[in-house]
Amino acid sequence: MNGSQWGVVTLLEQPKLTVSGEGGATSITTKDGTLQMSAGVPVAWSVTAEDGSETQAAIISETGLLTAKKNGVVKVTAQASGSSLRGSALIAISGQEGALLSGPASVLSGEAFKLNFGLNNLTSDVYAIDLTVRYDPAKAEYVSGISLVEGFSIVLDQEGASGDGEANIRFLAAGAGQAISNTDNLLELSFKAKDVGATIELNAITVDNVIISDGVTETPVSPTSHNVRIEVADKSVLSVAIAAASSRLIGANEGSFLGQYAPGSIALLETQLAAAHVAMADPNLSQAGIQEASTQLALATAAFDGSLKTLSGASALTIGDLAVIGRYYGQSSADANWPLYKALGITTPRPIGVQDLAAVAYRILGN
């Protein structure tokens, strides 16, 4: 008597893909480490938590390259293209505890600056930290350090032996009954850039030999570093822009006649010129700030030039304007078309004469 006579249906197990890490690896133990996954056939890759929920412990590329981000266990799933075949593998991730160091990308010569130290991807509370900060003493000097977390403080910061263009400060910090977890801003480290003669790259300020402890286990943490550019501010471009704007204002007047500027245009340029002088006098203005002030003044100068009344529509008087003056020379209010011609007067609606020719020629020559 077979199974069908009793109404029994035998279910065959659905075939599965075999998913594995390169070389049979089932873990990633290095900071931001990677593991190439394979399934033997073309597949679409995905990564989740072990229970299938979303994870931040790892990411996976279209080609199956798994990259660690946080400690934990992830499930890597492969879905065969064009079929229902799928498979998965569990990958354990560790060693992702990391130090963070952030701050400005550039500072001015002689300027004070601050870097923030933090920790991420921690799997337990931290009650104490041991770390060393290294920097180039020829380009920067260490000033001080403070804790940014209430109840957690720097117990000791001690300068170590220097050599080979490197200085180091060892820090011991601990919580008074206060533990910390992931934070980008744990310690604030203050430095001052040395006075330099030319813009240079400060060798990376590095934090290494980082060890954290929860009171039971001491855990090494991946080092970190931050690059800072020390700039010598070059204000020559701003100086040139100031000179150009100032020259435009010499002898400029507003009105509706040829060679005059639109009403209000002088005040607008003067306002931007005053702001440029303030920037020029600011000893702490960055190179980016200098460039911004120069750009704004150049734009204001161009707008001022554009408000000049000419016959050609150009931003300066030309020989074409002089020719029109000559063509309508002698026209006066007695002429039927005087409303059209009088706008050619330099300052007053009088008959067009030799003084107008001279004035336009004078302006053409840049005077």
Does residue 10 surpass a pLDDT of 50?
A: no
Q: Is the dihedral of CA 54, 60, 63, 65 positive or negative?
A: negative
Say what the pLDDT of residue 345 is: 56
Side chain identity at 250, as an amino acid letter? I
Say what the pLDDT of residue 197 is: 75
Percent of the chain at pLDDT > 70 equals 89
Q: Is the dihedral of CA 335, 339, 344, 346 positive or negative?
A: positive
Least confident of 9-18, 41-50, 226-235, 286-295: 9-18
Instruction: Based on the fold, state whether residues 166 and 134 are members of the same structural domain.
Output: yes
Q: Is the dihedral of CA 209, 213, 217, 223 positive or negative?
A: negative
Instruction: Based on the fold, state whether residues 203 and 149 are members of the same structural domain.
Output: yes
User: Which CATH number does the domain housing residue 336 bear?
Assistant: 1.20.1270.90
Does residue 237 surpass a pLDDT of 80?
A: yes
Q: What domain range is 104 assigned to?
A: 98-231
For residue range 160-202, list pLDDT tens digits in order. 876 677 899 999 999 888 888 778 789 999 999 998 877 787 7
Say what the pLDDT of residue 338 is: 66
Average pLDDT score over residue span 247-262? 82
Instruction: Based on the fold, state whether residues 133 and 85 are members of the same structural domain.
Output: no
In the listed set 93, 119, 138, which residue is the last one of a domain according to the structure?
A: 93
Instruction: Based on the fold, state whether residues 107 and 57 are members of the same structural domain.
Output: no
Percent of the chain at pLDDT > 90 equals 46
Residue 170 lies in a domain: yes
User: Which CATH number does the domain housing residue 48 bear?
Assistant: 2.60.40.1080
Spatial contact of 150 and 185, defined as CB atoms under 8 Å apart: no
Does residue 123 surpass a pLDDT of 50?
A: yes
Say what the pLDDT of residue 11 is: 46
Instruction: Based on the fold, state whether residues 244 and 358 are members of the same structural domain.
Output: yes
Structure tokens given for 169: 């400060």
In the listed set 93, 112, 135, which residue is the last one of a domain according to the structure?
A: 93
How many other CB atoms are there within 10 angstroms of residue 231's CB atom?
20
For residue range 25-64, list pLDDT tens digits in order. 999 988 889 999 999 999 999 999 999 999 988 999 999 9
Residue 13 lies in a domain: no
In the listed set 193, 215, 231, which residue is the last one of a domain according to the structure?
A: 231
Residue 9 lies in a domain: no
User: Which CATH number does the domain housing residue 139 bear?
Assistant: 2.60.40.680
Domains held by the chain: number: 3
Instruction: Based on the fold, state whether residues 223 and 243 are members of the same structural domain.
Output: no
Instruction: Based on the fold, state whether residues 207 and 160 are members of the same structural domain.
Output: yes
Structure tokens given for 32: 């931001």
Instruction: Based on the fold, state whether residues 222 and 306 are members of the same structural domain.
Output: no
Average pLDDT score over residue span 234-240? 88
Residue 157 lies in a domain: yes
Instruction: Based on the fold, state whether residues 204 and 275 are members of the same structural domain.
Output: no
Give residue 231's pLDDT band: very low, low, confident or very high (50, 70, 90).
confident
For residue range 126-159, list pLDDT tens digits in order. 999 999 999 999 899 999 999 999 889 999 999 8
Residue 2 lies in a domain: no
Instruction: Based on the fold, state whether residues 216 and 262 are members of the same structural domain.
Output: no
Instruction: Based on the fold, state whether residues 73 and 185 are members of the same structural domain.
Output: no
Residue 296 lies in a domain: yes
Say what the pLDDT of residue 277 is: 94
Instruction: Based on the fold, state whether residues 178 and 286 are members of the same structural domain.
Output: no
Mean pLDDT is highest, among 94-103, 108-117, 232-241, for 108-117
